């Protein structure tokens, strides 16, 4: 958040109460954030165990945005950490398309109301599947471009 927030706030947990636009959820008191983040890190740093990586990463995302530990950039941070967790477990990153922003926010709002992670987990699964489809299409293109020796096509030079 450097260059976006004042320097004193760019790399620290928030020190003010916040309210999330369009949400009924009120994030925890800022005084509790360091301890809650320590708990969040402990819960998710160990990996998914027996839980499937997609629901695990989706739950980590939901839990982080509900904490809202930073004054700004919480959604971006949650998406980045979700992708880190997914890639750490051998999955492609989730591509939450800008066109699906309203569905993304609606799934988070639905969790606020029902505490049911299924809609957000489904959205995350679709975002991972979209990226996996792109990767597979790219691999097919590379395979089609190989010559008889099995060497990949040469990249054009400038």
Catalytic residue among 52, 61, 68, 115: 68
Would you say the C-alpha torsion 14, 15, 21, 24 has a positive or negative sign? positive
Q: Is 24 helix (H, G, I), strand (E, B) or coil?
A: coil
Is 115 annotated as catalytic?
A: no
Q: What is the C-alpha separation between 58 and 94, in angstroms, rounded? A: 10
CB 66 within 8 Å of CB 27? yes
CB 84 within 8 Å of CB 45? no
CB 57 within 8 Å of CB 65? no
User: Which residues are part of the catalytic machinery?
Assistant: 68
């Amino acid at each position: 958040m450097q260059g976006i927030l004042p320097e004193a706030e760019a790399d620290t947990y928030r020190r003010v109460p916040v309210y999330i636009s369009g949400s009924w959820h009120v994030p925890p008191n800022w005084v509790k954030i360091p301890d809650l983040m320590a708990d969040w890190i402990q819960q998710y740093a160990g990996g998914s165990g027996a839980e499937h990586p997609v629901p695990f990463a989706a739950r980590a995302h939901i839990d982080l945005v509900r904490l809202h530990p930073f004054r700004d950039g919480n959604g971006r941070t949650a998406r980045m950490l979700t992708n880190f967790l997914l890639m750490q477990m051998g999955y492609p990153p989730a591509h939450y398309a800008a066109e699906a922003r309203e569905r993304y926010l609606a799934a988070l709002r639905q969790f606020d109301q029902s505490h049911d992670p299924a809609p957000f987990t489904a959205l995350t699964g679709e975002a991972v599947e979209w990226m996996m489809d792109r990767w597979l299409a790219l691999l097919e293109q590379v395979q089609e471009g190989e010559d008889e020796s099995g060497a990949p096509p040469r990249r054009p030079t400038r």
